Structure 1
Amino acid sequence: MAVERSLFSQTTPPQTALVVGASRGIGLGVVQQLLQDDRFGTVYGTYRRPESAQGLLSLTAQYPQLTCLPMDVTDEASIAEAIAQLQAQSPHLHRAVYCVGLLHDGDLQPEKSLRQITGENLMRSLQTNAFGAVLLAKHLMPLFKHDQPSLFAALSAKVGSIGDNRLGGWYGYRASKAALNMLIKTASLEYARRSPNTILALLHPGTTDTQLSEPFQRGVPPEKLFSVERTVTQLMAVMDGLTPADSGEFFSWDGTRLPW
């Protein structure tokens, strides 16, 4: 990251944050840490289905500053409706974190060879991992247009790096994360003109002990399998250290830059 001092250390509370994909895993962990952070007076967390978001929804009884919003990132109308509800309560947004990710679901599994690719599953991966994030950036821009520093961060993955691809496989997931990287990089250039106080960044969280990574943890050394709490703490540190010079860049969990 740039040596330039982060603007986030200069902001004063209360700030407003949005976590998309907050039902479980890293997204839920980000919500929990934001609720403990005195800088944030209002936190929004989105979920797709209430039956799978009980951990998130139960937090509202303890934290009145938390508002939960239904959102399906594969449906632009759902994104627009949720953001309209948010904007009616909070005209300004200071931090948004896109934590939605699809790696496996039923017959959708990481492809080991070309024979396993289907157009339907490729589209599912792209819609969830890439398209949802850039549509969110589209609908959030009016909330970011203010005179305070703000941040839009999307969770990417190192396997989405074209330059780092040495093993092959995982076609849909790799491609969708590479597409996410390009979309957010491109959006960062438009934001620089239209919402210049907003930093956009792509973050690789590392292998985290969540439902997404569970089937693929066998070969991961224990020291490289992070708890959700550790992952979120690391990612928050990276986000807090970002400067305008970092906008549109791709960072690992330790703050190092990743190749495209």
Structure 2
Amino acid sequence: MKTLGQGYRALVIGSSGAIGGAFIMALRADPACAEVVALSRSTHPDFSLENESSIAQVAEGLKSATPFSLIIDATGALTIDGHGPEKSLNALNAERLLRSFQINAVGPALLLKYFLPLLGTRRAVYAKLSARVGSISDNKKGGWYGYRASKAALNMLLQTAAIEWGRKNPAAVIAALQPGTVQSALSKPFVGQDAALLPQASVEGLLAALDQLGMTSETECPTHKGAYFIDYQGKSIPW
């Protein structure tokens, strides 16, 4: 990440997943990165996306290590409690819908609440894994109701937070990321792994794309206000 300067510090939330782990490896290999902090359900203290107090506790414990110039939120789930995405309206279940929103939208929103303030006041990036299927205007196939809807909600939360945060930190960038179909436990039930990207290739593209983004603040970048929604090739995705 050339635009973050020498000696920047990074935090990866959800570091135990395929993409989160690839971010850890890539950032530790970056000579400009002074330190990478990894957070997951297996680190201590652990946290849960469904437990706000646990998120607040972990964020509080990291204040002494701030500021971070880069925060990556790689949390999220497609299959929850053994149930994959719904293919039709008849498959909708209220409890499972709420669980999808809890994991893919509400939990990440709480991470924003407690971790966004840990960013530095110079150029800093907060990036969250989203999904192309969360794009309302790009939805041409239907299906996957809960996952699509929860990712669309996530994107709105990111956009709203970016507008607010742009007033506090004009040098901040907030982005929703589409990593592509990556070889992982998440994608394995739905796509042949030979056709999927290696996590390292996805992360390399995402980091390069983030390095090219302008400022979130309308004052700093008059042509753009709010969050970005980009893929691993650096291409914009319509909301």
Shared fold (TM-score greater than 0.5)?
Answer: yes
CA distance in structure 2 between the partners assigned to 1:10 and 1:157 by the alignment: 25
Determine which of 10, 24, 28 is the counterpart of 1:31.
Answer: 24
Contact 1:16 1:40 in 2 (8 A): yes
Contact 1:44 1:69 in 2 (8 A): no
Contact 1:16 1:93 in 2 (8 A): yes
Identity among equivalent positions (%) equals 37
How is 1:83-102 mapped onto 2 (pairs within 5 angstroms)? 83-88=59-64, 90-102=65-77
2:186 pairs with 1:193: no
2:98 pairs with 1:123: yes
CA distance in structure 2 between the partners assigned to 1:214 and 1:49 by the alignment: 22
CA distance in structure 1 between the partners assigned to 2:107 and 2:6 by the alignment: 29
DSSP 3-state at the match of 2:34: strand
2:15 pairs with 1:22: yes
Aligned AA (1:98): D
2:184 corresponds to = 210
2:112 corresponds to = 137
Contact 2:24 2:38 in 1 (8 A): yes
The worse-fitting range, judged by mean Cα deviation, of 34-43 and 165-174 is 34-43
- Taking only aligned residues, the RMSD between alpha carbons, in angstroms, comes to 1.8
CA distance in structure 2 between the partners assigned to 1:97 and 1:199 by the alignment: 12
CA distance in structure 2 between the partners assigned to 1:45 and 1:84 by the alignment: 15
Contact 1:70 1:82 in 2 (8 A): yes
How is 1:45-194 mapped onto 2 (pairs within 5 angstroms)? 45-49=38-42, 70-88=46-64, 90-146=65-121, 148-194=122-168
DSSP 3-state at the match of 1:135: helix
Contact 1:141 1:195 in 2 (8 A): no
Contact 2:12 2:37 in 1 (8 A): yes
CA distance in structure 1 between the partners assigned to 2:126 and 2:39 by the alignment: 15
Aligned AA (1:101): G
Cα displacement (A) at 1:75: 1.3
CA distance in structure 1 between the partners assigned to 2:23 and 2:15 by the alignment: 8
Determine which of 190, 194, 205 is the counterpart of 1:234.
Answer: 205
CA distance in structure 1 between the partners assigned to 2:4 and 2:143 by the alignment: 43
CA distance in structure 2 between the partners assigned to 1:10 and 1:162 by the alignment: 31
CA distance in structure 1 between the partners assigned to 2:200 and 2:45 by the alignment: 23
2:218 corresponds to = none
- Change in CA separation of 1:178 and 1:80 when aligned onto 2, cut-off 3 Å: same
CA distance in structure 1 between the partners assigned to 2:200 and 2:120 by the alignment: 31
CA distance in structure 2 between the partners assigned to 1:145 and 1:254 by the alignment: 26
Cα displacement (A) at 1:163: 0.5
CA distance in structure 2 between the partners assigned to 1:11 and 1:111 by the alignment: 41
Cα displacement (A) at 1:195: 2.0
Cα displacement (A) at 1:106: 3.8
- Change in CA separation of 1:78 and 1:91 when aligned onto 2, cut-off 3 Å: same
Cα displacement (A) at 1:13: 2.4
Contact 1:45 1:69 in 2 (8 A): no
CA distance in structure 1 between the partners assigned to 2:117 and 2:232 by the alignment: 29
**Structure 2: which 5+ residue stretches go unaligned?**
216-220
Deviations 1:16-73 (CA, angstroms, capped at 9, x unpaired): 11111111210011011111112221211111146xxxxxxxxxxxxxxxxx652212
CA distance in structure 2 between the partners assigned to 1:178 and 1:221 by the alignment: 28
Q: TM-score, normalised by structure 2?
A: 0.90
Number of equivalences: 231
2:238 corresponds to = 259
- Change in CA separation of 1:69 and 1:226 when aligned onto 2, cut-off 3 Å: farther
